[in-house]
Structure 1
Amino acid sequence: MEKTRKGERFMDIDRQNMKRVLKDFPQQVIDAIRIGEEAKISRLNFNSIVFCGMGGSAIGGDIMASLVKSVPVSVLRSYDIPEWVGEDTLAFVVSYSGNTEETLSAYKKLKKSGADIICITSGGKLTEDKPPLIVRIPSGFQPRCAIGYLFFPAFMVLRRLGVVDFDIDELLSKLTDISRNQDNEDSVAFTLASKLLGRFPIIYAASPLEPVARRWQTQFNENSKVLAHINIFPELNHNEIVGFGSPEIDNVVIILRDAEYSPRIEKRIEITKGIISRYTSGIEEVYTEGDSLLTRFFSLMYIGDWASYHLAIKRGVDPTPVERIKYLKKQLDADRYRN
């Protein structure tokens, strides 16, 4: 009987069933890989890569910048593009809706730069311009819930071009394991959400996990509807540790750990834990899973997605709507029409 009541309560809160979207993420990755494999691309010559996008559409670029070692990768979250972007640049223009104001502005400037452009979108104004190469992805998702569709088509394009290559089978196996475990209240994500309830999340990581930390932060923002903070080792050792304790905030520090951290980073983490322990309600450490960097990235991101979902449910807030973002965009549109 308790299980039924819990189920009813979950559906009363999660009215748009984000849980199902999260559960289905491994299949989304499979579908996105197929889309990337089927994209019609020619051999391209480039010595730099840029990703243009905002919010959930830009996270994939952050991940790619950490994965690609042979070519510099930049992520542009702006209306503008750098002057160095030109004929030797491969540009991924990523907008889930196809209507992102900043990305559309950057796209217009990319066209004039001579860069090779690949657009990844579900539709919108970006497709109306009929760019030479559009990779179409399914509509109907919140952009942050479509990270598989926003990342893996670009990943597969670069894989086909010989820029990047990682074990996909390991990734899918690990994501499936995590998905199956999320109905257990002893899962890492569920346990972490319980400890975060009513407390301020402070998320720490080190290279190469900075994109994962950013993802955790934005998922707590949008899904759980709470503020969250991130910082990166070793930089935080040069400033932030001094500020602990003032003002007094009930916080939990989450340290994202990876087996490939250097010994000096590991030492810094241990010393930092000792320094800040008296100023926090808890220090939680969450580890990457898997061998390849791709699997380690997405396993930890996926756990963070689930933690933000469970925290939303515990707070009694629907994880899907982002009304303030919608309101802001509406006000920007109204201002454009007035002018």
Structure 2
Amino acid sequence: MHNVFLDWDKLFREAERIEVPDLKYDNVIYTGMGASYIPGEMARILEPPLDYLVYNGDPTRFKARGKFSLLAFSRSGDNVETLIVTRRAFELGADVICVSAGGKLANLCREKGGRHVNLSMQARMSNGQDYPTRVWFPLLFTALVKILNTRSSGQYRISELAEGVEEGKERALNLAKRLVAKIRGRIPVFYGSLYFPVAIRFKQDLNETAKYPAFYGPIPESNHNDLEAYVRAQSLQPFVIGDQDIDYVTLSVIKAEQIIPAGSTPLKNVAYLVLLSGLTSLLLAEEEGLTEEEAFSDSNLKIARKLANLILK
């Protein structure tokens, strides 16, 4: 099976050429679902100097006050929840920037006077089909960071994303093999404080690529409830992502495996950790006997999306 995640350094380099518009306001709301939601959460790790909110709740209940910029991300451009939030944002007079590979979101953005960032990915699976959204993370996240940079005095050096993969690729591949050995026959639970968004991504990757159960929890909230479950939960394998002081509370109470960021900057750490997540999920998929087509097929997700479309249309 071709390991597409090992090509991410090239994809991050390609993404550096993406052109983005300037944000108009310091009040920024990011919206997206699934693998298009994760880039928005990852940006929290960077602690942007903006009033920054990520919204992926019930789209029919979206509300906002005052002047704000909406960043609507959907790789396909056809996610119904994202379309509903975007329409509402236009009604509220927001500055709207849409990021997609086309679809209904691009059309809506043009019709309503928003600005659109077009994403394209040439890589295809061996059967000629497109890779799913989670493989596109370098494009989505780079576009987001570049947009945030327009109102953050250019504080983020975009090239650090590719550097994070280039510098950590070998280490990530070796660690991924060790994580798979730890996960084998058990149910992984990923925890984090600063790197909590990475815990969400690990859960998503294992669920979607390896078709394997996985869960996540936030630190310190998980310290007030989850930890008692480990008294008898022999089938669970906890992981703590990060090395913040509060992370060591969880590590000291349960026999967790610590995943330490390898980079020297937040951007390098995000690139390295999300690469590690992808590599772990694909290696586990191979161990489970899945083909590339099976690993990157999301048939059950498509059923859920169709049901959501019926409810929300």
TM-score in terms of structure 2 length: 0.87
What are the ranges of 5 or more consecutive residues in structure 1 without an aligned counterpart? 1-10, 12-16, 278-282
Shift in Å at residue 308 of structure 1?
1.0
Shift in Å at residue 104 of structure 1?
0.5
Shift in Å at residue 169 of structure 1?
3.9
Structure 1 residue 138 and structure 2 residue 120: aligned? Answer: yes
SS at match of 1:24: helix
Contact 1:223 1:309 in 2 (8 A): yes
Contact 1:120 1:136 in 2 (8 A): yes
Query: Could you tell me which amino acid in structure 1 is paired with residue 224 of structure 2?
Result: H
Shift in Å at residue 132 of structure 1?
3.0
Give the distance between the partners of 2:224 and 2:238, measured in 1 at CA.
Answer: 17
Give the distance between the partners of 1:210 and 1:157, measured in 2 at CA.
Answer: 22
Give the distance between the partners of 1:109 and 1:202, measured in 2 at CA.
Answer: 36
* Alpha carbons of structure 1 residues 85 and 63: separation in structure 2 relative to 1, 3 Å: farther
Query: Could you tell me which amino acid in structure 1 is paired with residue 189 of structure 2?
Result: I
Deviations 1:44-83 (A, max 9, x none): 4413111110001011111123323421211111314643
Query: Could you tell me which amino acid in structure 1 is paired with residue 200 of structure 2?
Result: R
* Alpha carbons of structure 1 residues 93 and 303: separation in structure 2 relative to 1, 3 Å: same
Give 2:127's aligned residue: none
Give 2:11's aligned residue: 28
Give the distance between the partners of 1:178 and 1:63, measured in 2 at CA.
Answer: 18
Shift in Å at residue 271 of structure 1?
2.5
Contact 1:119 1:135 in 2 (8 A): yes
* Alpha carbons of structure 1 residues 290 and 109: separation in structure 2 relative to 1, 3 Å: same
Give 1:56's aligned residue: 35
Q: Provide the aligned length of Structure 1 versus Structure 2.
A: 298
What are the ranges of 5 or more consecutive residues in structure 2 without an aligned counterpart? 122-129
SS at match of 2:241: strand
Deviations 1:99-140 (A, max 9, x none): 001001111101111111100000111122225311000153
Structure 1 residue 293 and structure 2 residue 266: aligned? Answer: yes
Contact 1:257 1:288 in 2 (8 A): yes
Which of residues 94, 99, 102 is equivalent to 1:123?
A: 102
Give the distance between the partners of 1:157 and 1:128, measured in 2 at CA.
Answer: 20
Give 2:239's aligned residue: 254
Contact 1:26 1:176 in 2 (8 A): yes
Contact 1:203 1:256 in 2 (8 A): yes
Query: Could you tell me which amino acid in structure 2 is paired with residue 330 of structure 1?
Result: K
Shift in Å at residue 190 of structure 1?
1.2
Contact 1:62 1:211 in 2 (8 A): yes
Give 2:304's aligned residue: 328
Give 1:231's aligned residue: 217
Contact 1:59 1:211 in 2 (8 A): yes
Contact 2:12 2:161 in 1 (8 A): no
Which of residues 76, 83, 93 is equivalent to 2:72?
A: 93
Shift in Å at residue 85 of structure 1?
3.9
* Alpha carbons of structure 1 residues 180 and 240: separation in structure 2 relative to 1, 3 Å: closer
Which of residues 162, 172, 190 is equivalent to 2:177?
A: 190
- CA RMSD in angstroms, aligned pairs only: 2.3
Shift in Å at residue 332 of structure 1?
4.5
* Alpha carbons of structure 1 residues 270 and 123: separation in structure 2 relative to 1, 3 Å: closer
* Alpha carbons of structure 1 residues 336 and 255: separation in structure 2 relative to 1, 3 Å: closer
* Alpha carbons of structure 1 residues 266 and 231: separation in structure 2 relative to 1, 3 Å: closer
* Alpha carbons of structure 1 residues 103 and 191: separation in structure 2 relative to 1, 3 Å: same
Contact 2:72 2:96 in 1 (8 A): yes
* Alpha carbons of structure 1 residues 146 and 81: separation in structure 2 relative to 1, 3 Å: farther
Give 1:205's aligned residue: 192
* Alpha carbons of structure 1 residues 244 and 73: separation in structure 2 relative to 1, 3 Å: same
Contact 2:169 2:272 in 1 (8 A): no
Contact 1:170 1:290 in 2 (8 A): no
* Alpha carbons of structure 1 residues 148 and 171: separation in structure 2 relative to 1, 3 Å: closer
Give 1:83's aligned residue: 63
SS at match of 1:34: coil
